[in-house]
């Protein structure tokens, strides 16, 4: 096995591991000597690959590390370009800025691809100039399982203030929905983010209940998992959002 291929496989082994991997274990997987593994680990660390550990204890790859775009083939890179460009349609300005940064890194490595053009038209942008609630605030609350106090206006312009437990964000082409457990209605409700006129993150965690609530929500929506595309909502996105006023 060529050294470059071996280094790549070594990263893959560490990335997939759920515990520290010893040099002996990695040597057996790659069919090389333990001394070769030590040299390869040192080489990767010299290239600033975040591998931590020591001989006799084991090695781990720091969480969050990912391989650079050079390891994607041409079609995969084009898929990344198109997918990242389509983030502009979500209205989530923070994700869009992150996508632009990633695209700039891809262009630095592979050059521009002006022939791949994606229309930016889609959901309303969460622009602070229009008093919109940043979708990034909602994502942060979902990630940290913090309750939110929201001010919501339905289609009839009826305004309510609610305390909710945010569970998921559903991105459609023309809107974004916040799925949450509403304490006012004692049930799951879906709120269009462009109808949120106020949002405060409360210092109240529901982390212990979050997995169960998300599982019940997914089951109610007939989903196999919360990461699946919500095709069952496509037709009723606007209707579901207005139902929250009931």
Measured N-to-C along each axis, helices 34-46 and 3-16 cross at an angle, to the nearest 10 degrees, of 90
Two tokens, residue 221: 């929506």
**If pLDDT is split at 50, 70 and 90, which confidence band does 245 have?**
very low
Instruction: State whether residue 198 is helix, strand or coil.
Output: strand
For the chain, what are the domain ranges? 3-61, 69-110, 128-243
What angle, 0 to 180 degrees and rounded to 10, lies between the N-to-C axes of helices 74-85 and 93-110? 150
High-pLDDT (> 70) share of the chain, %: 85
| Averaged pLDDT for residues 138-157 | 94
- pLDDT at residue 83 above 70? yes
Does the domain made of 3-61 have the CATH classification 3.40.30.10? no
**Per-residue pLDDT at 75:** 85
Interval 186-230: pLDDT, tens: 999 999 999 999 999 999 999 999 999 999 999 888 764 444 444
In the 3-class helix/strand/coil scheme, how is 76-141 assigned residue by residue? HHHHHHHHHHHHHHHCCHHHHHHHHHHHHHHHHHHCCCCCCCCCCCCCCCCCHHHCCCCHHHHHHH
Average pLDDT over residues 66-89: 78
* Alpha carbon 230 to chain centroid, angstroms: 16
- 173 confidence band (pLDDT: 50, 70, 90): confident
How far is C-alpha 154 from the chain's CA centre? Answer: 28
């Amino acid at each position: 096995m060529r050294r470059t291929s071996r280094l790549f496989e070594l990263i893959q082994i560490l990335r997939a591991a759920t515990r520290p991997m010893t040099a002996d274990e990695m040597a057996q997987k790659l069919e090389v000597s333990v001394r070769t593994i030590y040299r390869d680990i040192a080489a990767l660390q010299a290239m600033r690959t975040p591998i931590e550990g020591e001989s006799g204890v084991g090695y781990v790859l720091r969480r969050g590390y990912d391989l650079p775009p050079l390891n994607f083939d041409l079609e995969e890179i084009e898929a990344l370009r198109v997918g990242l460009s389509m983030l502009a349609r979500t209205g989530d300005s923070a994700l869009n800025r992150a996508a632009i940064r990633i695209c700039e890194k891809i262009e630095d490595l592979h050059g521009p691809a002006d022939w791949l053009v994606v229309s930016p038209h889609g959901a309303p942008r969460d622009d602070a100039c229009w008093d919109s609630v940043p979708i990034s605030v909602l994502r942060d609350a979902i990630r940290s399982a913090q309750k939110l106090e929201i001010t919501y206006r339905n289609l009839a312009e009826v305004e309510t203030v609610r305390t909710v437990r945010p569970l998921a964000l559903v991105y459609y082409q023309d809107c974004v929905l916040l799925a949450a457990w509403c304490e006012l209605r004692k049930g799951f409700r879906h709120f269009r983010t462009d109808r949120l006129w106020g949002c405060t993150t409360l210092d109240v965690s529901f982390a212990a209940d979050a997995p169960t609530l998300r599982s019940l929500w997914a089951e109610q929506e007939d989903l196999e998992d919360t990461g699946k595309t919500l095709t069952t909502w496509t037709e009723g996105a606007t209707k579901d959002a207005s139902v929250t006023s009931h």
